[in-house]
Amino acid sequence: MVSKYFVTANTIVGNNITARARLLCWCMEKGLHGWQSITDGCSFELTGVIFPGRDSVDGETVNLHRDSSKLKRRKVKRGNLGNVKEIKGIAVEFETWDEEKKQPLSTSTLGLEITHQNGDVESLLPILKPNKVNPNYQDLDKNPAAIWIDEQAMKHLSNIFPLVSILHEETKSIKVNDDSTVSFESRKGQFSFETKDIFVEGGFHGSANYILKKPHETHVKARGYETKRKHTSIEWGDGWRDTQLIKSDEYGDKNNPAKDLMNQIITNPTNIKRQKVAIKQGILKSGDYRNLAEKYEKIGLETGDTILKALLMQEFSLSQFTFQTYDQYQKWFKLITKYKQDYKQSLESFFLNDDETLDFVSMTNTVDKLIANGIENPIQELDEHRNKHRDVNLYHPAFNVFCEVTKKLNGFNEE
C-alpha cells in the first residue's frame, strides 16, 4: 500500500488505514479499561469494563485509580462485560500431543459461565477435537467463550461511542473458506475482534512488559529482554569483599531476569528479591556497532559476531506512569536516567524492606502519588534529610558485581 516500488503506493491511504485501527485501540483502552494497548489490541478484565455514568467515556477517562479520576468521583462506573450479572472462568483440562518431544502434554483452556440479569446461566465451554498426529489426544477446536467476548466487546464499544463511524458503518468482512474460495459477509463496523486467549491473572511492568497466567501456561513478554534465551547468573564467591565471581543458581535454562521479576510481581509483589547480574550470549547488532565503532574495530569484531553481555534488570520503570505535563516527565526522565547510569538503580533503594527485598507495590503507589501531586524531583521528596549519602545506599546491591563482570567480559570479547 505504501511501498515506493509500486505505482499504487499511497501513503495518505496507508496512514488513514493505520489511523482507523489506532482509533479503535483508543476506544478499547477507554471503554474496556485496557492495559498496555498497542496498535491493535490490549488486555482487559471481563469484570471491569467502563460504563458511562454522569459523564460519558472520553479522553479524560484516564488514571482511574487516582482520587481525582472520573471513576473515583463516580462520573463513570465499572462493571461486567455485556452488563451481565456474573462472569466466572472455568478451566477445561485435557492432554494434547507434543509432536516435537513425542510425548503427551497436559494443558488447559478457559471457558466462561455467564449469569444473566434474569438469573439464566449460560455455559460457554471449549470444544475439543482429536489431535491430528495422535488421535488419542486432543486439541482445541474453538472456544465459544472467546467468540462471546469478541461480540460483546464490540457491542459494548458501539454503545458507549455512538458517533464513532468505524464502530457503526455497514461494511463487509472477507472470509477465506476451507476450499480457499473467498466470500464476503456483512458486518457492522470496520473491524471485528479476535480474542487471543483467556487468563486467570496477570502482572504488568513498564509500558510493554507483562505476564499472563492460566492453569497450565504462563506467557511472559519483556521488550528489550530475552525471555527464552539461557542466562547465567553471577555473584560474589565468599562475601562482599571477595573478588572471585562464581555462578549462582538464580538463572539458567528455565529462569532468566525477565521471567524472575515478572513472576515475583504476581506471587510476592511486596517482597521482591533483587535481581542478580546475568550473562547472556548475543549478536553484535549494527546499531551497537555504530555507537562504539572505534572500540569494535580495535578488537576486530564486526556486525553479526557473537559477544557476551552483562545484564542487570532494574525493577523501577518510568514508562508505566502518566505524567501531568511533558515538562514534568522530562525532569523525571533525566533524573532517573542519571541514577540508573550511576548506581544501576533509581528509586528502588527508598522502598526496601528490612530483609533487603523490594516493596514493589509501595514503590509504584508512592511514585504515582508524587506524579499526581505535580512533584518534579522525587529524590527530594523521598530523602527526608536531603542527604543521599546518609539515609540510603543508592547503589544496587549487585553494583560491584556488575562492574567486575563487565570488566571481565570486555577483556573476553577482546580476546
CA distance 354 to 338: 26
Task: Name the helix (H) or strand (E) containing 212.
Answer: strand 209-214
pLDDT, position 222: 86
Furthest-apart CA atoms within the chain: distance in Å: 76
The confidence band for 28, taking pLDDT boundaries of 50, 70 and 90, is: very high
Task: Name the helix (H) or strand (E) containing 139.
Answer: strand 138-142
pLDDT tens digits, 371-404? 999 999 999 899 876 655 556 788 999 998 888 8
Lowest mean pLDDT among 22-26, 51-55, 392-396: 392-396
pLDDT, position 415: 47
pLDDT tens digits, 251-288? 877 788 888 999 999 999 999 999 988 888 778 888 88
Q: Which class for 220: exposed (0-12), middle (13-18), buried (19 or more C-beta within 10 A)?
A: buried
pLDDT, position 156: 96
pLDDT tens digits, 196-242? 999 999 999 988 899 999 988 899 988 877 777 777 776 665 554 44
pLDDT tens digits, 145-175? 999 999 999 999 999 999 999 999 999 888 8
Lowest mean pLDDT among 47-56, 360-369, 372-381, 403-412: 403-412
Whole-model pTM? Answer: 0.83
pLDDT over threshold 70, residue 413: no
| Pick from 367, 371, 340: nearest CA to 351 | 367
Lowest mean pLDDT among 33-47, 78-92, 277-291, 381-395: 381-395
pLDDT over threshold 60, residue 111: yes
Helix, strand, coil % in the chain, rounded to nearest 5:
30, 25, 45
| Pick from 283, 303, 281: nearest CA to 292 | 303
| Pick from 33, 143, 34: nearest CA to 89 | 143
β-bridge pairing 217-221 and 209-214? antiparallel
